[in-house]
Structure 1
Amino acid sequence: MPHNNTDCTLTHFRYPLFTSTYSIVLLFGFPLNSVSLWILLCRNGLKKSVPVIYMANLALSDLLFTLSLPFRIIYFATGRWKLGNALCMIPGTLFAVNIYSSSLFITLISVDRMLAVVYPIRSRSFRTAPVACALSVTVWLFIAGLAVPTAINHPENEDKDCNVTRCFEKYTEEEWKKGFIILCITTFFGILVPFVIILGCTVAVVRQLRGYSMTSSCNTELSKSKIVNLFLSNLLIYAICFIPFHIAFILFGLSRFNILPQIHRDFYFNLQTVTMCMASTNSCLDPLIYYFSSKRIQGGNERQVWTDETTTGTAIILHKLRLYR
Structure 2
Amino acid sequence: MTSNNTTVTDCGTSHFRYPLFTSTYTVVLLFALPLNCVSLWILVCRNGLKKSVPVIYMANLALSDLLFTLSLPFRIIYFATGKWTLGNTLCMIPGTLFAVNIYSSSFFIMLISVDRMLAVVYPLRSRSLRTAPVAWMFCALVWLLIAGLAVPIAQNHPEINDTACNITRCFEKYSTDSWNNGFKLICLATFFGMLVPFSIILGCTVAVVRQLRGYSMATSSFNAELSKSKIVKLFLSNLLIYTICFIPFHVIYILFTLVKLEMLHNGSHLEVYFNLHNITLCLASTNSCLDPLIYYFSAKNIQSRSRCGSASKTVGLGLVQSTSWTGQ
> Normalising by the residue count of structure 2, what TM-score does the alignment of the two structures yield?
0.94
Change (3 A) 1:202 1:17: same
Give the counterpart of 1:19 among 18, 22, 43: 22
Letter of the aligned partner of 2:97 in structure 1? L
Structure 1 residue 275 and structure 2 residue 277: aligned?
A: no
Deviation at 1:285, TM superposition (A): 0.2
Structure 1 residue 300 and structure 2 residue 309: aligned?
A: yes
What secondary structure does 1:259 align onto?
coil
Higher deviation after alignment, 21-30 or 4-13? 4-13
Deviation at 1:6, TM superposition (A): 1.9
Deviation at 1:317, TM superposition (A): 7.2
What secondary structure does 2:316 align onto?
strand
Structure 1 residue 203 and structure 2 residue 203: aligned?
A: no
Structure 1 residues 169-195: Cα deviation after superposition (integer angstroms, max 9, x where no partner): 111111110011001100000000000
Query: Could you tell me which residue of structure 1 aligns to residue 4 of structure 2?
Result: 2
Change (3 A) 1:177 1:35: same
Which blocks of at least 5 consecutive residues in structure 2 are unaligned?
Answer: none
Residues 92 and 154 in structure 1, CA contact (< 8 A), matched pair in contact too:
yes
Question: Aligned partners of 1:75 and 1:276: how far apart in 2?
Answer: 16
Give the counterpart of 2:290 among 276, 285, 289: 285
Residues 120 and 320 in structure 2, CA contact (< 8 A), matched pair in contact too:
no
What secondary structure does 1:41 align onto?
helix
Residues 249 and 272 in structure 1, CA contact (< 8 A), matched pair in contact too:
yes
Deviation at 1:220, TM superposition (A): 2.0
Question: Aligned partners of 2:119 and 2:113: how far apart in 1?
Answer: 10
Deviation at 1:264, TM superposition (A): 1.0
Give the counterpart of 1:53 among 52, 56, 62: 56
Deviation at 1:319, TM superposition (A): 9.7
Give the counterpart of 1:233 among 203, 214, 237: 237
Residues 80 and 166 in structure 1, CA contact (< 8 A), matched pair in contact too:
yes
Question: Aligned partners of 2:134 and 2:80: how far apart in 1?
Answer: 44
RMSD: 1.6
Residues 252 and 269 in structure 1, CA contact (< 8 A), matched pair in contact too:
yes
Change (3 A) 1:73 1:305: same
Change (3 A) 1:318 1:221: closer
Q: How many residues align?
A: 317
Residues 304 and 317 in structure 1, CA contact (< 8 A), matched pair in contact too:
yes
Deviation at 1:318, TM superposition (A): 7.0
Question: Aligned partners of 1:322 and 1:54: how far apart in 2?
Answer: 14
Structure 1 residue 263 and structure 2 residue 268: aligned?
A: yes
Query: Could you tell me which residue of structure 1 aligns to residue 252 of structure 2?
Result: 248
Structure 1 residue 167 and structure 2 residue 176: aligned?
A: no
Question: Aligned partners of 2:102 and 2:17: how far apart in 1?
Answer: 20
Structure 1 residue 81 and structure 2 residue 91: aligned?
A: no
Higher deviation after alignment, 253-262 or 235-244? 253-262
Residues 157 and 166 in structure 1, CA contact (< 8 A), matched pair in contact too:
yes
What secondary structure does 2:161 align onto?
strand
Query: Could you tell me which residue of structure 2 aligns to residue 313 of structure 1?
Result: none
Structure 1 residues 34-68: Cα deviation after superposition (integer angstroms, max 9, x where no partner): 00000000000000000000000000000000000
Structure 1 residue 176 and structure 2 residue 182: aligned?
A: no
Change (3 A) 1:305 1:77: same
Deviation at 1:322, TM superposition (A): 3.5
Question: Aligned partners of 2:322 and 2:171: how far apart in 1?
Answer: 51
Higher deviation after alignment, 287-296 or 232-241? 287-296
Change (3 A) 1:318 1:81: closer
What secondary structure does 1:36 align onto?
helix
Deviation at 1:306, TM superposition (A): 2.9
Using CA pairs under 8 Å that are at least 6 residues apart, name the structure with larger relative contact order, 1 or 2.
Answer: 2
Question: Aligned partners of 2:293 and 2:114: how far apart in 1?
Answer: 17
Deviation at 1:87, TM superposition (A): 0.2
Change (3 A) 1:216 1:301: farther
Residues 80 and 164 in structure 1, CA contact (< 8 A), matched pair in contact too:
yes
What secondary structure does 1:11 align onto?
coil
Letter of the aligned partner of 1:232 in structure 2? L
Residues 37 and 59 in structure 1, CA contact (< 8 A), matched pair in contact too:
yes
Question: Aligned partners of 2:253 and 2:244: how far apart in 1?
Answer: 15
